[in-house]
Amino acid sequence: MSPDASGAAPHIEAPEARVVVFELAVAPEAAATLLRHPALAGRRLGQARSAEATVVFHDTAEGALAAEGLALAVEPRGRGAVQRLLRGLPGEDARVEPARPPAALAQTRLSRPGPDAASLVGLIPKSAEGMPLPAVAAAAGRRHTLRLAGGMTVTLFAGQLRAVAAERDIARLTLAVPEPSLAEGLDLLRALAADRPVTVPAASLAEEARAVALGVPARPLWRGPPDLTGAATVEDGARRAIGQLTLALLAAAPVAEEGSNPEGVHQARVAIRRLRSALTLFRPAIGCAAVTELKDRLGTLARALGPARDWDVFIAGALGEIVAAFPQEPALASLARAAEAARESAYAEVRATLAAPFFRLLTLDLAAAVAAPPWRGGDDAEAAVLRDTPLEDFAAAALNRRYKRLMRAGEGFAQLDIPALHRLRIQAKRMRYAGELFGGLYGAKKRRRFQKAVGAVQDALGHLNDTAVAAGLMRTLAKREPGRAWAAGVVQGWVAAKAAHAREDAAEAWETFAERAPFWDG
């Protein structure tokens, strides 16, 4: 750099580091002592600042903003206020990241506390323009702010969500981290989650406020299969899939933990399988030790939830049918009671697993993989190039590989034995998940027909698998009380008889699928 007229080199401002903000939910009972956690004490710079804080959420009487996944938050500041229009649910591009606060679509400083609808024209739905925006609910409490080494700032809000007819305690932790300190910040969050009930939230605070006001469950940030529509590159697709499916898992976890609705464990297991499938499909681009470990930990979680799902399916399916067919048979009634007891024992394991640090740390590490991809630290140049390639090209190649494996597994269907049919079912399941993952990149009609056909194969072959599952469950009960051998034999015979018809159904489903053209072809 050449000197200026004074002989000194001109001063150049160093660019400010990008700040990444994380937001986690805290169990209200843990909020009072959280800022004294050793992981924070060793990094703190000075004393925490504390002040009262209130955020008021506004919407039309009909909920026009919430219907579009939006939230209007107004925070009083002195005689004025700061108004933010937030996206509480994903928009059309389906971009959503776990453990991150909702994006602010607009921010306005106001000279008065109430909302300013005029500044939102063009940003809110037409149905809300010109309409009154009354307060729906408020988050009121205290905000504690603490500066940390590494340029980090941690903020803890603890208080209540209040509406006209209800209120409940709430606590949220945010951590603002300069990008150079990102690894340190994530380690800090892991230390907190390891021994405190600090979790990745399944819903935004604005959505939880709406839920309290209406007396309804909060809508999660994501549920169901991933949507990669609009993802341009392979890495963008991988990060979206991991983020969306982590949130889907978090949405299912409370229902699974409560235990009265079998859909909770079922949807949690589906989210896990979709996540593991996504990690496998994207492995050529993102494969590394950290991703392999995440997949293994997801497998551990799936195994912990598996027995509860097996008992749910068995009790609601085959056992329920048999007991209904022989209502006066005491041995079968006793077997049903034993099955219910075994189900409750399996759900106790589910509750213990989901309440443990293992689950909190797993979901936090999945969120961390989206925010700070661990695969970028590798030296695989080919994978690095692949991450920047168009997602559609990558998807077509991945789908072709899955399709070819499935078709090979189904060759000579009529002669396949039970182990071969089991392998075919697994390949059909993998094909189905791959189709879900990349399906949004292709036309809907042809995709739905293909997915329905491969799903029919998987379901029909699943009925064949029920025989093996039922036999295993009966062995479990027989060990506890050998006198149930007769009832267990009845159950296994019933399931085996149904499985005989299932093979015919599977053959028909396979023939239909084999005639279906791949939706990504051409």
Tell me the DSSP string of 130-176: TS---EEEEEEEEEEEEEBGGG-EEEEEEEEEE-SS-EEEEEEEEEE
**pLDDT tens digits for range 381-421:** 999 999 999 999 999 999 999 999 999 999 999 999 888 99
**pLDDT tens digits for range 448-492:** 999 999 999 999 898 777 777 887 888 778 766 666 777 878 887
Check for a shared fold between 225-309+331-389 and 390-517.
no
Q: What is the DSSP letter of 416?
A: -
**pLDDT tens digits for range 159-204:** 999 998 899 999 999 999 999 999 999 999 999 999 999 999 999 9
Confidence (pLDDT) at 2: 41
User: CATH second-level architecture of 225-309+331-389?
Assistant: Up-down Bundle (1.20)
User: CATH second-level architecture of 390-517?
Assistant: Alpha solenoid (1.40)
- Spell out the CATH class of 19-221: alpha beta
Confidence (pLDDT) at 7: 44
* End-to-end alpha carbon distance in the chain: 55
Domain ranges of the chain: 19-221, 225-309+331-389, 390-517
**Whole-angstrom distance, CA of residue 356 vs CA of residue 350:** 10
Which amino acid belongs to residue 243?
G
Degrees to nearest 5, angle at CA 93 with 439 and 75: 145
What is the C-alpha radius of gyration for the chain, rounded to an integer number of angstroms? 27
